[in-house]
Amino acid sequence: MNTVKLICILLLSFSCFSQDAWQPLSDFPTETRIKTSFAVSDGAIVLTSIDGSAVINVYAYDVSSDSWEQKADFPYLLGNGFTSFTLNDEGYVMCDDEPNFSVFIWKYNALADTWEPKTGTSYSDFGFGGFYGATFAINNLGYLLVSGHSSEHFKAYDPISDSWTVKASYPSYNDGYQSGFSIGDKGYFAYNNDNFSYYNEFWEYDPTSDGWTRKADVPMDFFSPDASFSIGDYGYVGMYPMYQGQFYRYSPTQDIWESIENCGYGGTNNFSFSIGDFGYVGSGVFQDPSTGNTVFSREVWKLDPDLLSVSENELDTVFVTPNPAKDIISVSGINENVGYEIYSLNGVLISKGQTMNKTINTSYLSVGVYILKFTFEKSSNYLKLVKN
């Protein structure tokens, strides 16, 4: 077993209560950083980069053979931020011309293995020091939310007319790190960032009314989604830090989030997409908690929603007070004492134990932010814990 696989298994041993719904696939061809990914036909396209190189490599995934093939490199080398969507079963990749606050868009022809430049769009600024884009697609229109603070930062792209149209301004914080997907004729963005302050808001966009509606917050209240896709009538979000493999499923008809089985992969900056009735995540990087070193993962995992075991715990009812904490915190929403673990934001285990009379002693913790994990019979829940 190679080192990457061994470390991933060690990291995931505390968080996965079942792997039935998540199945490992063939490894990604190389250790790399993921730029963006999108699904086409019976496969997917993944754009990657290697540290120290400006070349953007492209790999195609074939579902039928569970295999990867390198394709023509992406032609534009100067972009830092990348995002993408699929329209009419064709992939479109957007990247930035940061000095000019512009976004270039390229269409990928899978049969010819060629990239065709299309009409880009410009903005008054990118905000937050760079280009961060989140997308979804509805009825063969692509929607792009670009980081920034003007009213023009949410636009729709029409591939027929090769043109952009400004849409209703995104109503919340917009310094990037949102994650998007669409279900039916609605689009969704999860999470918001305001100068490194993260908000677990969840917003629905209706293209018919060109309006936004706030929906049930994502249960996790720290960091941001690192994987997202939709399958059928549900949206799926995988949370950072990804070595915990924590995933949630959203039902728009009920406007609720459910904790599903943890994923088996161990990366951040990974790829994610859905093809047919299945979801896929993989590759990327993570930080080894024991050494602090960056480790590249080549693992790829497939989600079969029909095999899911949804957590029986009600996520919204488990919380701690006071938070920010002082010496003792009380745990609400549990029927009996449960096991807990406290981690640093780098994933280093600080302490573990059992709640006593539904309380936890935090007097020994230094001032800072921590991850508090509760262990139940069939799942684990995570909370952000602030110590003053």
pLDDT tens for residues 96-109?
A: 877 778 899 999 99
Residue type at position 301? W
**CA-CA distance, 284 to 105, in Å (whole number)?**
24
CATH 2.60.40.3080 assigned to 316-387:
yes
pTM confidence score: 0.76
- Tell me which of 95 and 266 has the higher pLDDT: 95
Superfamily covering domain 3-312: Kelch-type beta propeller (2.120.10.80)
Reported as a pLDDT band with limits 50, 70 and 90, residue 5 is very low
Q: What is the pLDDT of residue 197?
A: 66
- pLDDT band of 6, cuts 50, 70, 90: very low
What number of residues does the chain have?
388
pLDDT recorded at residue 106: 97
- Asked if residue 370 has pLDDT above 50, the reply is yes
**Domains 3-312 and 316-387 alike in fold:** no
Q: Residue 87 in 3-state DSSP?
A: strand
Choose between 344 and 256: higher pLDDT.
256
Amino acid at the residue 241: P
Q: What is the pLDDT of residue 10?
A: 32
Please give the residue that has the higher pLDDT: either 183 or 247.
183
**Where exactly are the structural domains of the chain?**
3-312, 316-387
Which pLDDT band, with edges at 50, 70 and 90, does 66 fall under? very high
65-83 mean pLDDT: 90
> Confidence band (pLDDT; 50, 70, 90) for 195?
low
Beta pairing, strands 22-24 & 300-303: antiparallel
Question: Parallel, antiparallel, or unpaired for β 67-74 and 211-215?
Answer: unpaired
Q: Which of 19-33, 35-49, 256-270 has the highest mean pLDDT?
A: 35-49
